[in-house]
Structure 1
Amino acid sequence: MNGQTSEDVMSPEKIANVLDAAAAHIERVGWLQDDYYEHGKPATDCRVCSVGAINVAMFGHPFPPEDDNAYAATSDIGDLILEHLGVLGFDLAAWNDEPHRTQDDVTTAMRETAAELRKVAAS
């Protein structure tokens, strides 16, 4: 973690920045369902799902992290999005993959969660 504590890495502002970067990545390369990323293209230029986009924002690639702490951090960020949406009983990947889900749903949820985190951090 480059000498940073987990509390520093996972501060509300840093999580908000991750979510904004993830949304921007999806808007730049495109969105995907049923996989973390589009195979056969460079990892930073392939379409990604919501979790793949968070991975890109945090680790520079869409692949699921092998480190347990990194995987937990990604999952925790996904849980914050779902909590913001009031969604229970899902993980972010399952929510992303619902047939009626759209790219706009995903990027809007990320940006709204980021804004909410910044608002809470400022109060």
Structure 2
Amino acid sequence: MKATQNPPTTVQVSPADLLRMAALYLRRHGWHQGTYYAKNTDTLTPPACAAGAIGIACAGHRVEHFSQLDGDTLADYLTALAVFVDYLDAFAPVFFIDEDGHLLDEHTSPYSWNDDPTRTAEQVITALETAADEWDRLHQQGGENR
């Protein structure tokens, strides 16, 4: 870069980047079930569920409800969460069927998937990382987003 050139001022963050940041957050600060964050007011970085970790990756801080996010951040959150749901639908589906055998929801809920009593932190972290890899595989060509 020549001294007279202006460096770029913004960086494009992909849903895969956000999912990897969420996985890293869980590795560093812990995983949680039942609510977005563990009820711990002593720290700014409490253990989080998958959706809570994605939210922190998007916002850069904990928020009590994702409706509090500004428009761009909320769009990033919803996109990253949708990428995660698409991955779960394809590779770890959890569907709810009523007593008559009818499908109640066609998409895997990341909340109920995270809160499954048999779920482990490593499964959640691996799913976030693998969902990111899958997004990259489908959306990048020669190092560039398509």
- TM-score bracket for this pair, using the shorter chain length: 0.7 to 0.9
1:58 corresponds to: 58
Q: Which moved more, 1:53-62 or 1:16-25?
A: 53-62
Q: Which has the higher contact order (CA 8 A, sep 6+)?
A: 1
Q: Give unmatched runs, 5+ long, in structure 2.
A: 1-9, 96-107, 142-146
Structure 1 residues not aligned, in runs of 5+: none
Q: Which has the larger radius of gyration?
A: 2
- Tell me, in whole angstroms, the C-alpha distance in 1 between the residues paired with 2:132 and 2:19: 6
CA contact 1:36–1:51 (8 Å) conserved in 2: yes
**What secondary structure sits across from 2:86 in the alignment?**
helix
| Residue identity opposite 1:120 in structure 2 | L
Report the CA distance between 1:86 and its aligned residue: 4.1
TM-score scaled by length of structure 1: 0.77
Moved segments of 4+, more than 3 Å: 71-75
Q: How many residues align?
A: 113
- The answer to which structure has the higher helix fraction is 1
Q: Which AA in structure 1 matches 2:140?
A: A
TM-superposition CA deviations, 1:73-118 (whole Å, max 9, x none): 3542442331342415331011000000000000000111111111
CA distance in 2, matches of 1:84, 1:73: 17
Alignment correspondent of 2:6: none
Contact 1:19 / 1:110 at 8 angstroms: preserved in 2?
Answer: yes
Q: Would you say the 8 A contact 1:30–1:47 is kept in 2?
A: yes
Partner of 2:91: 85
State the TM-score, normalizing by the size of structure 2.
0.66
1:105 corresponds to which of 123, 132, 141: 123
Q: Distance in 2 between matches of 1:15 and 1:75?
A: 8
Shift, 1:27, TM fit: 0.1
Alignment counterpart, residue 134 of structure 2, candidates 113, 116, 121: 116
Letter of the structure 2 residue corresponding to residue 55 of structure 1: G
CA distance in 2, matches of 1:119, 1:78: 14
